[in-house]
Amino acid sequence: MKVGVPKEIKTHEYRVGLTPGAVREYVAAGHSVVIETNAGAAIGATDEHYLKAGATIAASAREVFSSSEMIVKVKEPQLSEWSQLRENHILFTYLHLAPDLEQAEGLLKSGCTAIAYETVTDAHGGLPLLAPMSEVAGRLAIEAAGSALKRYAGGRGLLLGGVPGVQPARVLIIGGGVVGMHAARMTAGLGAEATILDRSIPRLRDLDELFQGRVRTRFSTIDAVEEEVFAADVVIGAVLIPGASAPKLVSRGMLSSMRKGSVIVDVAIDQGGCFETSRPTTHADPTYEIDGVVHYCVANMPGAVPLTSSHALNNATLPFGLALAKKGFAAVLENPHLRAGLNVYRGRLTYKAVAESLGLPFSPIEQAAA
């Protein structure tokens, strides 16, 4: 199969869809790979590295799209990208369609087959292509919170871990999944006080066992959310419903009772965010303030550390990408985990949670591919 990798164009997005090592695997399997020039520059992967791995270099994204059967990216396609997709294309990337009607309509109109990293599953019921970026984002969330807490950034002027004799910051993490676990690990490591809210008792038991008392766990109820949010210096939004819009767990009205200069970090912003006042921001302008509360809602947090993120992502996506390159759409029909990743197929939405979030018709894959 002809596999194409355009350079990412989202603001301050430095990751790349395929590393030179991954390209070598595709070429060894008999596929051809075309890379847009300088696509890997931010991770130190030059055009020469890609040529050595067996790829060819394209002068523009248009050349990549026009000469490829499968497009491998990192972030959801932007307007100039989805307008180049055609019915013969397989798109393999993060999509996060639930809060993005414009992109969804663009993909539907293109007629392409779009497989979302964030809904591909594994035999254990996990999300293996989302997990590595969730690990990165969870850790970055605490770094971002520490920066936003600084007085010059609008925060309380509080050091996350405190110092001897001075109270450390209180960090509330809403959601005990991969993001929440890694955020808690960073919080505890810095010496701050961490609390995780989740609605799964088994998950809370696992976290309690993992952290051995270094992190508080609490069952998530409306009362618990309010009590913990009002007492926190930092609130991390780490709630995920696969494919669907994130639930709004902190309302605008609650902000007035939060500590002035406290910080919200909404890691769920790709799925619409779990705070009512969240809106996507960029690495160039990451924060804004509402009612004295600093909001950090960068929609591509792992893009800030592309060297780590690109390799972690490629380690996870490679087996699935190779399967798609070998068998095309047949791989989706044969592999239930890739089938779970299928969001769009030839003008139809094939992921129920996305369709419900957007208010658009849902077509089961059996119906769409008939």
Catalytic positions are: 96, 270
CA distance 3 to 90: 9
CA distance 60 to 81: 12
CA distance 174 to 14: 28
Which tokens belong to 297?
């809602």
Which residues have C-beta within 8 Å of that of residue 295, sequence separation ≥ 6?
263, 264, 266, 275, 277, 278, 279, 281, 287, 288, 289
The enclosing H or E element of 254 equals helix 252-255
Which tokens belong to 90?
């397989």
Residue with tokens 């399997």: 29
CA distance 46 to 357: 40
CA distance 129 to 96: 13
Q: Nearest to residue 297, comparing CAs of 309, 306, 308, 285?
A: 285
Report phi then psi at 353, rounded to 5: -65, -35
**Position 176, amino acid:** G
Could you tell me the CA-to-CA distances from 297 to 267, 277, 284 in Å, in that order?
A: 7, 10, 12
Report phi then psi at 346, rounded to 5: 45, 55
